[in-house]
Structure 1
Amino acid sequence: MERVILHYDMDCFYAAIETRDNPKKYKNKPMIVAGGVVTTANYEARKYGIHSAMSTYEAKNLCQNLLIVPPNKEKYIKESEKIHELVLKITHRIEFIALDEGYIDISNVIPKYSSKEKFAKIFRERIYKHTGLTCSVGIGVNKISAKIASDINKPFGQYIFNTRAEFVEL
């Protein structure tokens, strides 16, 4: 049986949590979660060239109306634990690599679904239903192909490499 690996990556995880919890204050506004360095930039802030690991000073120079939210690590850990619990209901063949992403070996799970696309859609919608947060999903034949696939249709998208040949052709 060929391996089927899913990579999920929460979209702008820390910023998305803050926006979900304070929509009137942060929705559709450029915002970062940062101390001295940007931890996460939402998509509105990224339009200005702001990205993780950039200094807050530099980010503020790129966007004068940038909103800066101090990190709340405990809140992010709690959300991550909710997501981990949801994932563990699918299988225990998991490698959580950060608070907001992980690899899941779904080789034994996927035959129960009509397609990989259907599984990915159900997975994304389930995370959203239980957390109010979006994630992007990639499915591939190994971790590298799954990780690349999860970046292709961000945010809240999915991409599937069904064969090794599809991945190699990219």
Structure 2
Amino acid sequence: MAINEKVAEVLEDQINKELYSSYLYLTFADYYEDRGLKGFANWYEIQAKEEMDHAMALRRYLLDNDFKPTMKAIAQPDKTFDNDLAPLEAGLEHEEYVTSLIHHCYEVAHEAHDIRAMQMLDWFVKEQGEEEANARDMITNMKLFGCDPKGLYDLDREYQTRVYTQMTALPL
């Protein structure tokens, strides 16, 4: 059974949004790199790689369901920051936006009675819950500990320990 055209279109669009997320998080990493906060930069470099993994997983899903996605232009991120909390708050706002996009994909799949796509999207729904929780935790930590140099140093060291684990395939 071929994938529903509307489902394929929203998933194809989601690939572009995931690639944009990767670009956006690289701008966050660059901000922190300029500030000398290599741990925060590391955190967002890994986030960028994870977003690329998400795009590739969606691409693979479409290809495996006989739909060849078209790669569209990726918007240029336009965020600038004037303090160390601002990228974290922008990160939470962006994750909430991505959650709304994933929910929209799920709704389209549900309307099309595309059970396979809904099962695939279950992973993304769960992932978005984790992404939002991580973003909220980073904001809380910055507000609690990042206001003094020692606390900021300790947070930065903690975020340096994050290690990238490549996503191998969507667990379906």
TM-score (structure 1 length as normaliser):
0.28
User: Hey, which of these two has a bigger chunk of strand by percent?
Assistant: 1
User: Hey, which of these two has a bigger chunk of helix by percent?
Assistant: 2
User: Greater relative contact order: 1 or 2 (C-alpha under 8 angstroms, separation 6 or more)?
Assistant: 2
